[in-house]
């Protein structure tokens, strides 16, 4: 891929290898590997994934020549770096090749698949989520191969092709393949948390590396209501239309959402923040699991921001509403899909019971059913011990020149790591070494307009993965 003239100008780098590394990343962003739930193989265009594989092989030749690279389910990749001690269980590093669509091209500041390096940023769909981690891992592996590093523990790299639509064809297929081979994983690293360079205001202004030790569940339920239909010129006087009943359910859920509470790993996060918190918060955060403190603190956090609210309660949002087909006819039936993200300790039936409790006067006219993907919350991985220690060491020593907090975190979204949960003996840690600024609105760029990442963040990410891969390969327990 021809090098853009903006590379050296924007990054102000005299280091030619760094510029080449950035250009390899940017070139991968130019391949529109969009996944699609509707397609049988979950790809919008299979040829783009073929092109992506050819690009990666061409630009990371040492990886393809020296390690075992397998195609799984045609579009996913499994790379094996054999360890010198076959009695040790492997460590798996996860990323994904696919991206969400960027159909609103005219609203972007630069073309979404331009891979432009400009003004100190690398721009493009996938720059954050998460071609960033995929190429940074491959850069790190290439460097370690060149240094003749030989891992004691086998290292695996799983790059799925459909994470954005659930990961069943990609990561799911890789996980099933590993299980069929009798593989038990010692540890997994996937995307998820990031380095919040602004801290977590108002709780701390110190940068925080948020390492996801758990992720919330994913459940969607459809509430179908029946009501008085007929000609729109004669609406009933008892508010019994489908629209009335749908509105009451939505307003009831909005008025009384699931309760707030503090559970792990959020309690561990708050305790980790306490030493770097403003004086007024230090005692409160360090005693966040005190039954007299926790309820008020959870309510305070829920009111501060959507991000905080997501880690202190099961969230619910109406996402799909369907009713009626003609402007002069009142429908006799309509439906609402509510999407829930359950907390780690939530019971399997909680979401349905919650909705049943909000139907009120319309209960006799409503039915509830689960729809689509159904995922229970994950287990909570330990924030202590050998696995946590290497995550902590890699983040704290490579990502910033200033002091940072490394803390456990509850991931409110869903990752490919869920497909490997049944074959992991140690822990799953969800962290990409992204430097994002809440103040600059960086998190809104994920799946949004003008997705981009700083040049400095990408180069530090390569260093982070070099450290983490080396530590993982030497992890002897």
**Surface-to-core class of residue 190, CB atoms within 10 Å of its CB (0-12 exposed, 13-18 middle, 19+ buried):** buried
The secondary structure of 200-259 as a DSSP string is BTTTB-S-EEEEEEEE--EEEEEEEEE---EETTS--SSS-SHHHHHHHHHHHHHHSPPP
Which is catalytic among the residues 98, 164, 190, 215?
Answer: 98
**Whether residue 254 lies in the annotated active site:** no
- Could you tell me how far CA 55 lies from the centroid of its own chain? 25
**Residue 264 structure tokens:** 């792990």
Whether the Cβ atoms of residue 461 and residue 243 lie closer than 8 Å to each other: no
Which is catalytic among the residues 89, 163, 190, 451?
Answer: 163
**Whether residue 98 lies in the annotated active site:** yes
- Residues 80 and 182: their CA atoms lie apart, in Å, by 15
Whether the Cβ atoms of residue 444 and residue 130 lie closer than 8 Å to each other: no
Beta-strand runs (E) in 115-207? 117-118, 121-123, 155-160, 185-196
Among candidate residues 378, 361, 255, the one with its CA nearest the CA of residue 316 = 255
Q: CA-CA distances (angstroms) from residue 23 to 95, 111, 391, 433?
A: 19, 17, 27, 19
**Residue 399 structure tokens:** 């990502």
Specify the 3-state DSSP secondary structure of 325. coil
- Residues 170 and 173: their CA atoms lie apart, in Å, by 5
Residues identified as active-site: 98, 163
């Amino acid at each position: 891929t021809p090098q853009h003239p903006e590379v050296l100008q924007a990054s102000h780098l005299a280091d030619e290898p760094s510029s080449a590394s950035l250009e390899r990343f940017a070139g991968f962003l130019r391949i529109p590997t969009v996944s699609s739930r509707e397609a049988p193989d979950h790809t919008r265009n299979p040829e783009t994934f073929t092109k992506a594989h050819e690009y990666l092989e061409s630009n990371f030749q040492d990886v393809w020549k020296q390690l075992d690279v397998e195609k799984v389910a045609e579009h996913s990749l499994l790379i094996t770096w054999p360890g010198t001690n076959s009695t040790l269980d492997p460590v798996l590093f996860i990323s994904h090749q696919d991206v969400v669509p960027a159909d609103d091209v005219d609203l972007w500041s630069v073309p979404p698949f331009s891979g432009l390096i400009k003004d100190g940023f690398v721009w493009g769909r996938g720059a954050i989520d998460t071609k960033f981690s995929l190429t940074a891992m491959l850069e790190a592996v290439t460097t370690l191969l060149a240094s003749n590093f030989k891992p004691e523990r086998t290292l695996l790299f799983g790059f799925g092709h459909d994470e954005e639509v659930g990961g069943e064809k990609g990561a799911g297929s890789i996980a099933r393949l590993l299980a069929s081979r009798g593989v038990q994983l010692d540890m997994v690293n996937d995307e998820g948390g990031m380095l919040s360079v602004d801290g977590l205001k108002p709780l701390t202004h110190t940068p925080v590396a948020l390492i996801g030790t758990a992720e919330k569940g994913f459940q969607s339920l459809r509430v179908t209501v029946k009501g008085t239909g007929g000609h729109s010129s004669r609406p009933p006087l008892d508010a019994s239309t489908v629209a009335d009943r749908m509105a009451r359910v939505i307003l009831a859920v909005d008025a009384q959402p699931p309760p707030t509470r503090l559970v792990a790993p959020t309690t561990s996060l708050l305790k980790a923040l306490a030493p770097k918190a403003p004086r007024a918060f230090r005692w409160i955060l360090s005693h966040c699991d005190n039954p007299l403190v926790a309820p008020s603190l959870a309510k305070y956090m829920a009111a501060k921001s959507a991000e905080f609210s997501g880690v202190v309660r099961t969230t619910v949002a109406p996402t799909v509403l369907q009713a009626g087909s003609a402007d002069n006819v009142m429908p006799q039936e309509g439906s609402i899909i509510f999407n829930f993200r359950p907390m780690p300790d939530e019971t399997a039936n909680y979401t349905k019971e919650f909705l049943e409790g909000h139907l009120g006067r319309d209960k006799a006219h409503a039915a509830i059913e689960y729809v689509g993907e159904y995922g229970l919350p994950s287990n909570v991985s330990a924030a202590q011990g050998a696995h946590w220690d290497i995550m902590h060491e890699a983040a704290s020593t490579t990502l910033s020149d200033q002091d940072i907090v490394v803390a456990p975190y509850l991931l409110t979204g869903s990752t490919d790591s869920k497909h490997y949960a049944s074959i992991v003996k140690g822990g799953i840690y969800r962290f990409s070494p992204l430097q994002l600024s809440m103040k600059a609105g960086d998190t809104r760029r994920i799946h949004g307009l003008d997705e981009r990442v700083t040049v400095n963040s990408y180069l530090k990410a390569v260093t982070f993965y070099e450290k983490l891969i080396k530590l993982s390969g030497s992890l002897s327990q």
